Structure 1
C-alpha cells in the first residue's frame, strides 16, 4: 500500500498551507504586527484613493499613476494577508486547488502591476523635471490611459503562465505547502516531475519585472538627478529634489525587499525555511504600508487635503 503522502493525484482537491513553518507556537504573537500593518495598508491606501477622487486639483498624470499603485497594493496585500491571519488565528490551513491557482495569479499579476506603475511614475517625474515645457502636451489623458492599459496587460499576460504551468504538473508527493500562500515555486516544488520550465519562467519573469523595472527607473533617475544638479541655485535644486523624493522612497520600498528576497531565495541555500517564509511575508506587506505613509506624509497635495478634511469636520 502506498503511503498517504505519496498517493498519486494529478490535481489535488486541496492544499495545506503551513503558515510560517517552525514558528507555529509563535503564530498568535506574529499575527499582531502583521494585522496592524495590514490595517494601516488598507486604511492608508483607501485614504489616498478617497482624497484623489474628492480633490479636482489632483486629477493629473502623477496621481492617476499613484491610484494605480494604490490599487495594486490593496489587491496584493488582500490576496495574501487574510489567509495568513486565518492561519495564525483559526488554524485554517486548507485552500482548494482552484483557489490556490487564483491566489497565485493575483499575487504575480499585481506584483508586476506595481513594478510597471513605478516605472510609469518614474517617467512622469522625468518629464516633469527634465522636460517641463512638454509635460502637459506629452502626458495627456489619452497617453496616461494607454500607459495604464499597457501596464495592466503586461502584468496580466506575464502572470498567466504561472497557474497554467502549476495546473499541468502531476502532484504525487504531498499536498503540504511550507508557505503562507500559494507562491508559484512553493507549489510546483510539490510536483513529481521535472519542473525546469516553471523555474526558467520564474527567472524570466523576475528579470522582466524586477530587472527591467530597476533598469528603466535607474536610467530615468540618473537623468533627473543630472538635471537637478545643473540648476543654477541650491534653493532651486532642493525644491526640485523635493518634488520626486517621495517617488524615490516608494521605489526603494518596493524593489529593495523584493530584490533581497529574490536573491536570498535563489542563492541562500542554507537559509532556514522559517526565515525565508517570514521574509517573504514581510516583502509582500511592507511596500503597501510604506507607500501609503510615504505619499500621505511627503506629498503636500494629499497631506494638505487630508488636513483640510479633518479641519472642516471639526468646524
Structure 2
C-alpha cells in the first residue's frame, strides 16, 4: 500500500531547495558565527576542533564564538540569544543528537520570527546520518573549512512532534531499543559496533509488534512487523545502506518504511536485501508516503527515537513542516 495525496498550494515550497552562494554575495557568518560544540561526542579533541574553526574563519576576518555544551544547557534559549546578538550562522558540532537539538532551536526561532536562520554542521558523532545524507564531510576539519567557504545553502523539511522538530528519522521498534540501551561509553569506544551488539541482543527471541498508521486523510492501516521508520532522510548511517533511493529531506514528502519480518527467516531475508542495496524492492518492507501528517500507534507500546534520541513512547503524531531549515553545504 502506498498513499499519495496532492500538495495544496500552501504545502508547496515556493523556493528552490538549493541556493548557490557565489563570490561577492554576503555569506552566512559575515555578521557572526556561533558554534555549539558537544565536547563528549565522538573522539575528536575539542582543542583541535576549536583551533581549526578559528583558523578557517580567520580567512574571512571572523572570530567564531564557541560554546561547549553542558547538561543543563537550554539550547533554544542559547540559540535565541546568539541570533539576537547578531550571529547569522549557528554551527552544531557534535553527534546526531546535538545537531537535531540545534536544528530544533533554529526552526522554533523561525516560527517565532518568520526568519529562517542558517545551520552549519560539523559531524563528530557515531552515525552522523544527516551529514551523510547531505554529502557533507565526515572529517571535522574538512567540515570546518566548508563552513568558512560554503558552496550553497539547502532548505530542508522537518518533522514536528508536539513542539519539537526533527530532521532525519523517527523510529519505533528495534532502532529505538538500540539507542535507549547503548551506553555512551560504549559508543565512544566502539562506535557503530556498540549499536550493533545491542541490536543483536534484542533480536534474540525478538517480538513482533502490531503497528497502526493514520496517514494524511487515508483510512487506518494495520500491519505486524519488527520495525517502523518515518524517514525524512533515506540514509541509515552506514555507507551503502538506505531505506530507499528516492527519499530526500527536501521533497515535501515523509516516507514511512515498515519492516514486516515476523520470523527469523524473514529477518535474514530482509537483512540480505539491505546488504545488496535492494531493500526498497523487498516484499516484506512496506512503503507509504505522507505529505501532511502521520499518527502512529503500536501494541505493545514501544519506545520512540527521533534523530538518535528516545523521546517517549507510542502513540504519537508527526507533522511535516516544508523547507523550514536552511543548512550550509
TM-score scaled to structure 2, two decimals? 0.25
Name which structure has the greater RCO, CA cutoff 8 Å, separation 6+.
1
Higher helix share: 1
TM-score scaled to structure 1, two decimals? 0.26
